[in-house]
Amino acid sequence: MRHVQGRARRAGVALAAVLTWAGLLAGAAGCTGEDSRSGLERVLGKPPAPEDVIRVTPEDGTKGVRPEERLLVRVPGGRLESVKVVRSQDAQETPVPGRIAADGSSWRPDDDRLGLAARYTVDAVALDGDGNRSARHTTFTTYVPEERFIGYVTPENRSTVGTGMIVSLEFNREIDNRAAVQRAVRVTAEPAVDIRPHWFGDTRLDFRPEEYWAPGTRVTVTLGLRDVEGAPGVYGLQDKSFSFTVGRSQVSLVDAAKHTMQVRRDDELLATVPITAGAPKNTTYNGKMVVTEMLELTRMNGATVGFKKANGKGEYDIPDVPHAMRLTSSGTFLHGNYWAEDVFGRVNVSHGCVGLRDVKGGASDTPAGWFFDRSLVGDVIEVVHSKDKQVAPDNGLGGWNMTWKEWIAGGALK
């Protein structure tokens, strides 16, 4: 009987335990009266909400977040285990790199600048102060600007250029915050060389080394302009890189007084070509000019560059000028000339351009054709002994006419 009674007592204790937990579970399953907490919550305490464990800034669901606001994930107590942030922009999803602090209390992105017109998704997992794991999923969207700016870049991607090429960005809007825009543009070279920027007004930013590029140099231009505020409320749009290669060195010296052009390739004289330069009333600029455009055939109308007759028509209008190479944005060309006779090497008769003998329609066996076939965009044409001023450094790619000290002084970052 003792043995049976002992077993009965033990069974009674077990039954009481079962009934106790059953009562707790029954309380957890029901939700009645004014007290809606579960039985387990009344006994063990309510677990903290994920938003109390993991704090995300900007807050979940926020719209129109400005680019200067900062993305931050933190835990008031406990430790972050993992944070994953994804930016959806222009139909592309990009992971946002960042780091958890050494003490596990926070996560910050490597780049503090938020992308515009983007949707951010944050997924974080953390342990609270009691060792309980919590997870949180939040989203927010950023400001969509109404105005954007872009930069039109010279030279073209994957092009092979002459040693005098200057990297030039022409912006479609005036730039107030030059420093921010300048920081967002990188120009690098292999082999490495010191490359510096120079601003011409509010819409143009050029880059060049101290001396002409070495042949074979590969230059890479990186535009990190996207979401950079160039002027109040005006943000950049481009985020891309492109490269070009420097070909052989060719620098030609036009002597307006001697009516000749010496063509040098890699410092060796290839030829001395007879030319005609600007007439006394329309002299050719002195200085270093860079070929920016090459046209097999083009029309030249004096009215477009200020040479007009009393009736408003151009002093000249030639529909088929052969072998034309642009030297300045104001209209100076080096080109073939088939309409003037017995002037090359003798007298200057042009309206400011440099002319070489050619035939109508152009031919490769003429001085103009020979030079055109051996030229590249980026080659340098230097004019000396002309009775004119030096070409302005912003007229075409005339930056080589500035000293290195003058060039560096034109950067926005000192």
Integer Cα distance of 342 and 337 in angstroms: 11
Sign of the four-CA dihedral 19, 24, 30, 34: positive
The DSSP string of 96-115 is: --EEE-TTSSEEEESS-PPP
DSSP state, residue 69 = S
Q: Which two tokens stand for residue 412?
A: 């926005």
Give me the catalytic one of 198, 323, 351, 353.
353
Looking at the DSSP bridge assignments, the partners of residue 221 are: 187, 242
Is residue 335 annotated as a catalytic residue, yes or no? yes
Q: 231 with 174: CB under 8 angstroms? A: yes
With a CB cutoff of 8 Å and minimum separation 6, the contacts of 213 are: 163, 164, 165, 189, 193, 219, 246
Report how far residue 122's alpha carbon sits from residue 175's, in angstroms, rounded to the nearest whole number.
Answer: 34
CA angle 85, 97, 190 (to 5 degrees): 150
327: CB partners within 8 A, 6+ apart: 289, 290, 291, 292, 333, 334, 354, 381, 396
Question: CB within 8 A of 62, min separation 6: which ones?
Answer: 140, 141
**Three-state SS for 315?**
coil
Max Cα-Cα span within the chain: 143
CA atoms of 58 and 56, how far apart (whole Å): 6
For the chain, the 3-state helix, strand and coil shares in percent, each to the nearest 5, are 15, 40, 45
H or E stretch covering 325: strand 317-326
3 is catalytic: no
- What's the distance, CA 414 to chain centroid? 21
Q: Catalytic one among 198, 323, 335, 351?
A: 335
Torsion 45-50-55-59 (CA) sign: negative
Catalytic residues: 335, 353
